[in-house]
Amino acid sequence: MIGELLLELHSEEIPARMQQRAAEDLRRLVCEALAKAGLNPGETESYVTPRRLALAVKGLPRAQADLREEKKGPRVGSPDAAVQGFLRGAGLQSLEQCEKRDTGKGEFWFAVIDRPGRPTVDVLQTLLPEALAQLPWPKSMRWADHPLRWVRPLHSILCLFEGQPVPFTFGHLTAGDSTAGHRFMAPKRFAVRDTSDWLRSLRGAYVEPDFATRRATILKDAAFAAENEGLTLVDDPGLADEVAGLVEQPVVLLGSIPTEFMAVPREVLTTAMRTHQKYFALNDAEGRLASRFVIVANTLTNDGGKQVVAGNERVLAARLSDAKFFWDQDRRQRLDSRLPLLKDIVFHAKLGTLAEKVSRVERLAFELAQQIGADTKQTRRAAALAKADLVTGMVGEFPELQGIMGRYYALEDGEPQAVAEAIAQHYAPQGPNDGCPTDAVAICVALADKIDTLAGFFAIDEKPTGSKDPFALRRAALGVIRILLENNIALPLRPLFTSALSMQSAVSEAGRDVAEELLRFFVDRLKVHLREKGVRHDVITAVFAKSADDDLLRVVTKAEALSGFLAGQDGANLLTAYRRANNIVRAEMKKTPDLPLGEIANSFLAELEEKALAACLTEIGHARSGADDAAGFAKYLAALALMRQPVDAFFERVTVNSDDAALRRNRLSLLAAVAGSMDRIADFSQIEG
């Protein structure tokens, strides 16, 4: 027989950013514990709201299965001390409770112990509090005089199995069969029988327990309300996730933005609404920002939400009044007039001021502009102004707008469009969903800013360790990688790193080759990036290990070509041949370490198959020229493919370990040349599978 488990933990508001992870962790911990106890769970469903975390598990047996355990004991006739030790270990009183068996190696005592399975309810009373204690909250708290730690004060626990309470104790609470509805609209506690009754009762008490349903309701109602006004909802998946974690009963309302604030840049308005107030922005029919916004409240009110809307409009108006003040004030001063203020801001104690960083970025961006063909004058100007908006009033109030406000102020000052766009985009990309700059000037400034940061922190040995990366250096490296690859930019990194390091006032520790450390760091990040894109990381390792190429675009192009080659039959067979040849040579060299391998002597090529293979290797040697560039690499792979048939024939018909020492040495040299011809372009020993 099978039953259903329902567990709900009712608390104060759980931060929205923690809810989804907590629901998954609860499911994982409970299911792992059930499986370990021999109670394999069936279908599971987790639920989370701001004030509750719940899990439903179906298909649980009513009891653990009975177990029979056998323990082999001493040989019949063994000393009494051995027999008594065996009985104590098995929990038995006498040999009469044991069986005598002939194992073919003599007669031995066996203890057969039957362990009846425990009722599931009894197992749950121990298992659940242990699982809950392991829930890994990013932050937790204690309250009053309770020793229990939880993300927020925990009010009650509901736990049912087959409709009956499972009264386990967790901290100061004992699980029961009741819960409460919406905090304001239905706070009275009520009992439930099972998951279906729990869902039905909560929804009747103004609580939607399912996160996905709440999120869908918010977006549907918001889109409908906007459509009634001739407007459209601005797509914002992240905000939808966050707001769904703030309400148990979503109620969509529309508010208005006073006309005088609509002259403020769109990004300022949307940042104030989204980041600070959790409002959804709306567009008009022409795609412009509308003077309306969506509020998602958590309660139904008798006045249809009028007071809620009025209160939110007052809060937003106050914030936008500050924004408009800063917008008006900032434009009274040119952006370049703010540059001296950067001398008063420390970028890092060991890396100087922000003004010094800007100077380094300007020089590095100029070098990059010369290499990729960007306008050098505009590049230097954009780099010089890139950080100036950090000392404006608007960015001081809304730090999220750094770069964006610099663009607006640069345009107000009459700076070229390319300069303004580079200022806005030089922080990009800031995440996997953020786009990369595509204009040459913006590319140069974005690369220079990130490479200067990386060079500086590597110079002072502040590299990422484990999961810690306080200066976001992994993100900076990934940004450089994405910019280069997505814009198809071939750029050697070693000289760029060397140049960036030469500009740093910090001196690295003696003996450290920081440029090489940086390059290895980039290769590691490239592997991660390409693995997420479906490219094999071992292929990247193989390509880089042989050439130490510092042009990431070329490395990726080579890796893609090698991946395609290995995916074909010729490549797969050659990889097998490579391993076979390598293994034979390695084994023979282990037997005879001083065996002289080297030039292949034509006079000792006795068989047609080894002559054909030697001729093929000669042709491959001619194809080696130019294999360092992407096109030459592809041609060399095509030449290697021609080696497949001669190699197959060689292994089929030629005896490598000939009795003739000269023939044996020559054939081993031939196999070494096969492996060597492949290792010229990549370390094939790194290829997995």
- Model confidence over 281-297: pLDDT tens digits? 999 999 999 999 999 99
pLDDT of residue 462: 93
pLDDT of residue 162: 93
> Which residue carries 């699980």 as its tokens?
175
Q: What are phi and psi of 104, to 5 degrees?
A: 90, -15
Question: Which class is 338-534 in CATH?
Answer: mainly alpha
CATH 1.10.730.10 in the chain is located at 563-686
Cβ–Cβ < 8 Å for 327, 396: no
In this prediction, residues 571-581 reach a mean pLDDT of 84
pLDDT of residue 146: 83
Instruction: Spell out a b/e string for 138-172, using b for 16 or more CB atoms within 10 Å of the CB, else e.
Output: eeeeeeeeeebebbbebebbbbbbbeebbebebbe
Higher pLDDT, 653 or 622: 653
pLDDT of residue 626: 62
Chain segment 160-216, per-residue pLDDT in tens: 999 999 999 999 999 999 999 999 999 999 999 999 999 999 999 999 999 999 999
Question: At 627, is the pLDDT very low, low, confident or very high (cuts 50, 70, 90)?
Answer: low
Distance CA 380, CA 359 (A): 10
- The separation between CA 102 and the C-alpha centre of its own chain, rounded to angstroms, equals 58
Instruction: Supply 558's token pair.
Output: 């080579």
Distance CA 503, CA 498 (A): 9
CATH architecture of the domain formed by 2-63+119-202: 2-Layer Sandwich (3.30)
Q: Has residue 663 got a pLDDT over 60?
A: yes
pLDDT of residue 327: 97
Distance CA 327, CA 2 (A): 66
Cβ–Cβ < 8 Å for 436, 410: no
Instruction: Supply 381's token pair.
Output: 């100007």
In this prediction, residues 318-327 reach a mean pLDDT of 95
Chain segment 409-466, per-residue pLDDT in tens: 999 999 999 999 999 999 999 988 899 999 999 999 999 999 999 999 999 999 998 8
CA-nearest of 249, 250, 286, 257 to 273 is 257
CA dihedral 216, 221, 223, 226 (to 10 degrees): -160
SS (HEC) of 274-293: HHHHCCEEEECCCCCEEEEE
Cβ–Cβ < 8 Å for 552, 526: yes
**What percent of the chain clears pLDDT 70, i.e. is strictly above it?**
97
Distance CA 628, CA 154 (A): 64
pLDDT of residue 406: 97
Q: Is the peptide bond before 429 cis (omega within 30 degrees of 0)?
A: yes
Q: What are phi and psi of 289, to 5 degrees?
A: -65, 125
Higher pLDDT, 509 or 502: 502
Q: Has residue 355 got a pLDDT over 90?
A: yes
Distance CA 254, CA 279 (A): 10
**Cα angle 521-524-529, degrees, rounded to a multiple of 5:** 125
CATH 3.30.70 in the chain is located at 2-63+119-202
Helices 537-547 and 552-567: crossing angle in degrees, nearest 10, is 120
Cβ–Cβ < 8 Å for 183, 51: yes
CATH 1.10.3210 in the chain is located at 338-534
pLDDT of residue 7: 97
pLDDT of residue 429: 96
Distance CA 604, CA 666 (A): 7
pLDDT of residue 507: 57
Alpha helices in 466-607 (DSSP H): 473-486, 494-502, 514-532, 537-547, 552-567, 569-591
Higher pLDDT, 646 or 592: 646
**Strand (E) positions, 352-394?**
352-353
CA dihedral 167, 171, 172, 174 (to 10 degrees): -10
Q: Is the peptide bond before 61 cis (omega within 30 degrees of 0)?
A: no
Question: At 509, is the pLDDT very low, low, confident or very high (cuts 50, 70, 90)?
Answer: low
Flag the least confident range among 65-74, 99-108, 351-360.
65-74
Question: Which class is 563-686 in CATH?
Answer: mainly alpha
Q: 657-665, long-range: CB within 8 Å, 24+ apart, which pairs?
A: 657/588, 662/601, 662/604, 663/604, 663/606, 665/595, 665/596, 665/597, 665/604
Flag the least confident range among 96-105, 212-221, 297-306, 316-325.
96-105
β-strand partners of 55: 7, 46
Distance CA 636, CA 633 (A): 5
In this prediction, residues 592-598 reach a mean pLDDT of 71
> Which residue carries 């063994």 as its tokens?
78
Q: Is 77 helix (H, G, I), strand (E, B) or coil?
A: coil
Q: What is the CA radius of gyration of the chain?
A: 35
Overall size of the chain counted in residues: 689
Residues 6+ apart with CB under 8 A from 623: 635, 636, 639
Instruction: Supply 124's token pair.
Output: 């749950």
**What percent of the chain clears pLDDT 90, i.e. is strictly above it?**
63
Q: Has residue 565 got a pLDDT over 60?
A: yes
- Helices and strands in the chain: count of H runs, count of E runs: 24, 18
Distance CA 549, CA 552 (A): 7
532: number of Cβ within 10 Å:
9
Cβ–Cβ < 8 Å for 660, 668: no
Instruction: Supply 209's token pair.
Output: 């327990």
Distance CA 489, CA 481 (A): 10
Question: At 91, is the pLDDT very low, low, confident or very high (cuts 50, 70, 90)?
Answer: confident
pLDDT of residue 625: 66
In this prediction, residues 142-152 reach a mean pLDDT of 87
Distance CA 184, CA 182 (A): 6
Q: How many CA atoms lie within 13 A of 63 on its CB side?
A: 8
Instruction: DSSP letter for 56, please.
Output: E
CA-nearest of 659, 641, 657 to 577 is 641
